[in-house]
Amino acid sequence: MTQPIIKIGTRGSPLALAQAYETRNRLMAAHGLDEARFEVVVIKTTGDRVQDRPLGEIGGKGLFTKEIEDALLAGHIDLAVHSMKDMPVEQPDGLVLDCYLPREDVRDAFVSLKYTSISDLPKGAKLGSSSLRRRAQILHMRPDIEVVEFRGNVQTRLRKLDEGVADATFLAMAGLNRLGNANIAQSAVAVDEILPAVAQGAIGIERRADNAEIHAMLSAIADTDTATRLAAERAFLKALDGSCQTPIAGLATLDKNNLTLRGQILRTDGSEQVSGEISGPATDGPALGQKLAATLLEKSGGNFF
């Protein structure tokens, strides 16, 4: 009897496809399945279609996920592969997000055709970014720099740099690594200098709650350390009501059974930031995230955003 095809939903960017193929390859290896058992289904999202406006103007974090989740709920695909930093903190009824692949490099990459690091940028230099977090962080560090809107895939951004639209930009090191383009980065920015986005570098795989077969398959490739770290980071984000409209950074690290969570909130113009750190048992990750969020809001005066 012919085995059913397992359909993997994804965006169509080179990075999204690389993440979908990584997921497929891990499932093939874990279960001894042939490539023919899988089909990668490309789904265009609102965030992909609208390229001429800042993300904050066209919606929140669901910009890169809604159409894919609709296809999952409708049964057109069996699982969906996402960049976790794009994911809302809550899933639609009927969907579950509980499988994460081993996390890649969490750092931001500094990319420029002229300069080697943030400190090398001259006064008045233009830095391109569509990320409110990165914009706020760089303006806080370097208020003498002009930040311009900058969207597109890796090659589009390199072309824009070559055309002089900006002198530098940021990308995620994880994405460059997954595409085999790590050499594009002039430098990886230390997390002590720029704290990354919540869940940066992590791939999440979403499924229907009633699909026990897919749940069992995904359990074989799920990375528990990544799940533990993201539980703390996403609880922190949820407690702050994080969206594409709010500059928030957060990173959890593990040392055996101890978890340390660092967090930062910023005003959109970079004029002010509040940061903090909390540690405790890894099993208390979500509670630590909520507690750190409450601490930062208290330190900020409670009306920071």
- CA–CA separation, 255 vs 225, rounded Å? 10
User: Rounded to 5 degrees, what angle do the CA atoms 176, 178, 181 make?
Assistant: 40
In the numeric block, the tokens 């609880």 are attached to 235
Backbone angles phi, psi at 166, to 5 degrees: -150, 160
What's the sign of the alpha-carbon dihedral 48, 49, 51, 54? negative
Cβ of 303: how many Cβ atoms within 10 Å?
Answer: 6
12: amino acid identity, one letter? G
225 is catalytic: no
Burial (CB count <10 Å: 0-12, 13-18, 19+), residue 223 = middle
Choose, from 48, 70, 86, 167, the residue flagged as catalytic. 86
Cross-strand bridge partners of residue 273:
266
The residues carrying an active-site annotation are 86
